[in-house]
Chain A
Amino acid sequence: MNALTKERASAIAEQSYKYGFVTDIESEVAPAGLSEDTIRFISAKKEEPSWLLEWRLKAFHHWQKMAEPDWAMVKYPPIDYQAASYYAAPKQKNKPKSLDEVDPELLRTYEKLGIPLREQEVLAGVTPRIAVDAVFDSVSVATTYKKTLEDAGIIFCPISEAVKTHPELVQRYLGSVVPVTDNYFAALNSAVFTDGSFVYIPKGVRCPMELSTYFRINAENTGQFERTLIIADDAAYVSYLEGCTAPKRDENQLHAAVVELVAHDDAQIKYSTVQNWYPGDKDGKGGIYNFVTKRGACRGKRSKISWTQVETGSAITWKYPSCVLQGDDSVGEFYSVAITNNYQQADTGTKMIHIGKNTRSTIIAKGISAGRAQSTYRGLVRMLRTAKGARNRTQCDSLLIGDQCGAHTVPYIESRQPSARVEHEATTSKVSEDQLFYCQQRGLNAEEAMALIVNGFCKEVLAELPMEFAVEAQKLVGISLEGSVG
Chain B
Amino acid sequence: MLSIKNLHAEIDGKPILKGLDLEIKAGEVHAIMGPNGAGKSTLSYVLSGRDGYTVTEGQVLLNGQDVLSMKPEERAAAGVFLAFQYPVEIPGVTNMNFLKTALNSIRKARGESELDAMQMLKLLRAKAKLLGMSEEMLKRAVNVGFSGGEKKRNDILQMAVLEPKLCVLDETDSGLDIDALKVVAEGVNTLRAADRSMLVITHYQRLLDYIKPDYVHVLAYGRIQRSGGPELALELEAKGYAAFAPEAA
Contacts and interface: CB of A to CB of B under 8 A. Distances in A.
A441 B141 contact: no
A443 B162 contact: yes
A445 interface: yes
A452 B51 contact: no
A441 B82 contact: yes
A109 interface: no
Given A2-B51, A4-B51, A438-B84, A444 B92 contact: no
Contact of B73 (A440, A455, A458): A440
A445 B70 CA distance: 12
A16 interface: no
A47 B49 CA distance: 68
Contacts of B50: 437, 441
B90 A438 contact: yes
B71 A445 contact: yes
A5 B88 contact: no
Contacts of A442: 73, 76, 98, 102, 105-106, 158, 162
B92 A437 contact: no
Contacts, number: 80
Given A456-B90, A456-B91, A444 B101 contact: yes
Interface string B94-114: 000110011101100100000
Given A437-B50, A442-B102, A456 B84 contact: no
A100 interface: no
A4 B49 CA distance: 10
B80 to A, nearest CB: 8
Nearest to B87: A438
Contact of A435 (B73, B90, B97): B90
Contacts of A458: 92
B33 interface: no
Given A440-B72, A440-B73, A453 B93 contact: yes
B88 A438 contact: yes
B77 interface: yes
A448 B101 contact: yes
A443 B88 contact: no
A443 B92 contact: no
B76 A459 contact: no
Q: Which of B73, B98, B158 has the most CB of A within 10 A?
A: B73
Interface string A409-452: 00000000000000000000000111101111111110010001
A448 B109 CA distance: 13
A464 interface: no
Contacts of A4: 51, 71
B92 A3 contact: no
A2 B52 contact: yes
Q: Which of A439, A455, A458 has the most CB of B within 10 A?
A: A439
Nearest to B104: A443
A475 interface: no
Interface residues of B, number: 30
A457 interface: yes
Interface in A1-57: 2-5, 8
B48 interface: yes
Nearest to B110: A443
B158 A434 contact: no
A460 interface: yes
Contacts of B103: 443
A457 B144 CA distance: 13
A456 B91 CA distance: 6
A459 B93 CA distance: 8
B142 to A, nearest CB: 8
A452 B104 CA distance: 13
Contacts of A437: 50-51, 72
A368 to B, nearest CB: 13
A443 B159 CA distance: 12
A439 to B, nearest CB: 7
Interface in B54-91: 71-73, 75-77, 82, 84, 87-88, 90-91
Contacts of B109: 443
A459 B71 CA distance: 28
A4 B93 CA distance: 24
Contact of A443 (B52, B73, B84, B90): B73
Interface of A: 2-5, 8, 432-435, 437-445, 448, 452-453, 455-460
Given A441-B82, A442-B73, 17 more contacts: A3-B51, A4-B51, A4-B71, A435-B90, A437-B51, A437-B72, A439-B90, A440-B73, A441-B50, A442-B106, A442-B162, A443-B76, A452-B98, A456-B90, A456-B91, A456-B93, A459-B92
Interface of B: 48-52, 71-73, 75-77, 82, 84, 87-88, 90-93, 97-98, 101-103, 105-106, 109, 141, 158, 162
